[in-house]
Chain A
Amino acid sequence: MINRTLFSISKPIIANIAIAFFVLISLNSRATDTASVADHAVDHLTDSTHNTTHDQGDKPFDPTEVIFEHISDAHEWHLWGDHHNPVSIPLPIILYSDKGLEVFMSREFHHGEAIYKGKNNYKLFKVNNKIKIVNELGEVDEQKTAKLIDISITQHVASMLLGVFIIFCIFLTVASNYKKRGISAPKGIQSFIEPLIIFVRDDIAKPNIGPKAERFLPFLLTIFFFIWVNNLLGLIPSGANFTGNISVTLVLATVTLIVTNVNGNKDYWKHILLPPVPWWLYPIMIPVEIIGVISKPFALMIRLFANITAGHIIIISLISLIFIFKTIAISPVSIAFGLFMDVLELLVAFLQAYIFTMLTALFIGTAVAEHEHDHSHDNEHAHH
């Protein structure tokens, strides 16, 4: 009995230690993360060059602005060029106001310089990338704006769609290869993907979930490749900081939260609602356990967001050095460090996908784990 109590107490402690450990790693790698794509940087370099020429005398170069512009979402896919004459891909704007749904292209805003007259008058504010309802004079109508729902295909949505398209291309090809080739040895892209799938299955799902791993494998594989492919897309020059967007990590973490708790068994819920402590500790323990349920996916959300965003920030910062010091002499340093960071980001892209998937598997594992008294029973089932 004592043993059992110890066991059930120590399990969350272990999980917490594991989480703390990964947060530490993440903090660490945030420093290392530094290096997102050098080309990203080059992109911004041209951008900032224009800025500085334009604003010479007006205001000094502000790296914060450049960085935030890069890591934030946008209503058009900016490739290069300055704010007044950029080369960018227009994206569809989808707005839902009390007057109904309307769809138009982002070029109508003329990069935030023009008011679009639809069912309302809309203006795009570049500062925080918000579309607001304005009157004829361009004054913001806050009341109406509050009711406006913006579900535009933004740069990040477009980047996700591209990522999903790539994922479909890869995995439908691979799946058809399996259908064609049957059980013969993998070939081509199949032999690149198969070790990754087996890695997720044998090194992430099975050790953390145990005999029920098969059921969650499709989910874990999807989350792994979704994060990884999108991380890599973010590293491409002009790519979007998609996986470094809190909305995205929020959705991913929420899905993990739902999958974990929907599949939680009796033991899992008993542990949360009737923790193995004296009854008078319940007022403290039950809220703590519930916080624990939320905080695990919350940590997932913050970790992925922070790691990817930090990587992008560091690379742009390195490139910004040139403009901060206003000399080309610093560029070898920027390029050397930027390249180093880029390579590191390749690793981080994989690592973060791995950590996210691994912790998801761990959480599911704790939720579906059978406790000792059920073990023999369970094993019997497994043998049958």
Chain B
Amino acid sequence: MELITPSIGLVFWTTIVFVLLIILLTKFAWKPILAAIKERENSIEQALNAAENAKKEMQQLQADNEKFMREARAERDLLLKEARDAKDAMIAEAKGKANSEAEKIIKQARESINLEKLAAINELKTSVGILAVEIAEKIINQQLSSDDKQKSLVSNLLQEANLN
């Protein structure tokens, strides 16, 4: 029974000490501690939010970057294509020009060759004519050196002429 009978002295001291403990700890410990913890939690939350925002911005930037990259790449491709086309065009044009020039040169050459050839033929013709006349002169001179010969010749010629 004594075990469950409260004693005045202990109740008295416990009440005083416990109430004082609540008051003093509240003032000197709990308030500063809880305030500090809360402040820390707030700052951590803010930091986390800031990090989250930064991450979002980063993502945005990355997306932008990617977009720019894509655009740049597309532009590059376009430029390259244009350049290639221009090159091809230039080469084709050059080739065409070269061909026509070559053809022109060949044509001119052919024309001049033809002219030369004609001149040569004409000259040859003249030379052959002169030569033939000379040969004919010589032959005539020889053939007509005797009467017999003249006669036979005439007869031959006549024969031939008749045949014609």
What is the interface of chain B, defined by CB distance below 8 A to chain A? 2-15, 17-19, 21-22, 24-26, 28-34, 36-37, 39-40, 43
Bound CA–CA A71/B30 (angstroms): 33
Asked whether B9 lies within 8 Å of A194 as measured between CB atoms, the reply is no
In this complex, how many residues of chain A approach chain B with their Cβ under 8 Å: the count is 49
Q: Which residues of A contact B11 (CB under 8 A)?
A: 247, 250-251
**Are B10 and A222 touching (Cβ within 8 A)?**
no
Given contacts A174-B29, A218-B25, A248-B14, contact A151 B9 (CB under 8 A): yes
- A residues contacting B by CB (< 8 A) are 68, 71-73, 94, 128-129, 149-154, 156-157, 160-161, 164, 167-168, 171-172, 174-175, 178-179, 182-183, 194, 197-198, 201, 214, 217-219, 221-222, 226, 245-248, 250-252, 255, 305, 309
What's the Cα separation between A171 and B8 when bound, in Å?
29
- Once the chains bind, are A246 and B18 in contact (CB under 8 Å)? no
Contact A194 B14 (CB under 8 A): no
Secondary structure dominating the interface of A: helix
Add 13 more A-B contacts to A175-B28, A246-B4, A246-B5 (CB < 8 A): A68-B3, A71-B3, A72-B3, A73-B7, A94-B9, A150-B8, A153-B13, A160-B17, A167-B21, A178-B32, A222-B25, A252-B18, A255-B18
Known: A218-B31, A222-B22. A183 touches B40 (CB 8 A): yes
Report how many A-B pairs have Cβ atoms within 8 Å.
Answer: 115
Question: How far is it, in angstroms, between the C-alpha of A97 and the C-alpha of B43 when the chains are bound?
Answer: 59
Q: When A221-B30, A246-B4 are in contact, do A73 and B10 touch as well, CB less than 8 Å?
A: yes
Asked if A178 and B4 make an inter-chain contact with CB atoms under 8 angstroms apart, the answer reads no
Closest Cβ–Cβ distance, residue A189 to chain B (whole Å): 12
Residues of A within 8 A of B4 (CB): 246, 305
Asked if B13 contacts A171 (CB within 8 A), the reply is no
Residue in chain B with minimal CB distance to A255: B18
Give A255 to B8 CA distance when docked, in angstroms: 16
B-chain residues with CB within 8 Å of residue A309 when the two chains form the complex: 3
